[in-house]
Amino acid sequence: MSSKPTMSDIALACGVSQATVSLVLNDAPGTRISAATRAAVIAKARELGYHRGARAVERRPLVAMLINEVTSTPHVAGLIEGLSEAANEAGLLMMVMPTAGDPGLEAAALDHLRAVGVRGVIYARLVTQEVAPPERLADWPTVLLNCHAPRSPFPSVVPGDLAAGLTATLALADAGHRRIAFIGGEDSLESARERLKGYRRALAMRDLPADPQLVAKEGWRMSGGYAALRRIMGLADPPTAAFCFCDRTAAGVYDAARGMGLRIPEDLSVIGFDNESFAADLRPALTTMELPHADMARHAVEELHRMMTRPDSRSRHPQVKIDCPLVLRGSVAPPCGERPRAGAVAAGQG
């Protein structure tokens, strides 16, 4: 053994990897190392007389996510969780910089990233949309997360909203429903446009008519779902099922259905979107589509790491769409009994 013990000496003595010794001695945050292994490494380092000098500190490559906003929505939590887990597994240190989508703040953030020696960038949006990323991002390996730029060289990761709309509507059609409403969302939202496309494609696949009267765009809030259902149930041939743009819209549909004396799922089957925490607490628990934000973030980090470690390689898929899983609960059932009548709304008004 050399006069100056090294991390390799400690790793050999403890029967662990040098990377494990480095993580323990540098007290790296977020590492999954058992207390016994950590104690053994520290004890052996002391026994061998290992001293960590200033040059012995092994810095993790720094990467950054620029995002337009950080709020308390579950979408941000999923993104942050996926980013942190994937970055830690790849040996990266991740920083998050909210910029409000302001070009001036983005420019200042990029100046800072250059000064601190950032190695890669994830450019993100809270809501799926087309963007025009700063040209200076070309100075780093860059991945777009929850957004896309068709005329840019950057690979992107987005949710499969169209496929999710297809899946949700097919679930209702295959349960036996022939009159299915699409409730909520606004044309200004890309996700709403894509889910509506999926809804219409599913109707075509099952030879069901696409009735424009069954499409409501009162918005994504509870009040929008409430108003939309009360209007649609007044039709001469009302629906027996509804695919809602989001869980908040679905909660409004639940409220309106109760006021009209409709039972879910006996009189009206409902599917939401987002799998928010309250969805499982509704009565009955809401069947919903889950936004895969954590999986999207993990993929973005993995793609960024590939670009950093193999800069000459090309991405096989310039845009990756991550599937949205269907979470089956109690709000979907085959239609039964008499169809809801056009007078149901009037009977439920008080």
Which residues of the chain carry a pLDDT beneath 50?
A: 1-2, 54-57, 338-350
The whole-number pLDDT of residue 55 equals 42
The answer to whether residues 261 and 204 belong to one domain is: yes
Structure tokens given for 272:
């939401």
Please write the tens of the pLDDT for every residue from 200-250: 999 999 999 999 999 998 777 899 999 999 999 999 999 999 999 999 999
The whole-number pLDDT of residue 342 equals 42
Beta carbons of 291 and 275 less than 8 angstroms apart: yes
The answer to whether residues 35 and 105 belong to one domain is: no
The whole-number pLDDT of residue 72 equals 59
The answer to whether residues 117 and 172 belong to one domain is: no
The answer to whether residues 245 and 127 belong to one domain is: no
The answer to whether residues 169 and 274 belong to one domain is: yes
The whole-number pLDDT of residue 73 equals 66
The answer to whether residues 130 and 210 belong to one domain is: no
The whole-number pLDDT of residue 341 equals 44
Strands 326-327 and 287-289: antiparallel
pTM: 0.78
The whole-number pLDDT of residue 99 equals 93
The whole-number pLDDT of residue 115 equals 93
Q: How far apart are the first and last CA of the chain?
A: 88
Domain assignment of residue 230, yes or no: yes
The answer to whether residues 185 and 147 belong to one domain is: no
Beta carbons of 146 and 296 less than 8 angstroms apart: yes
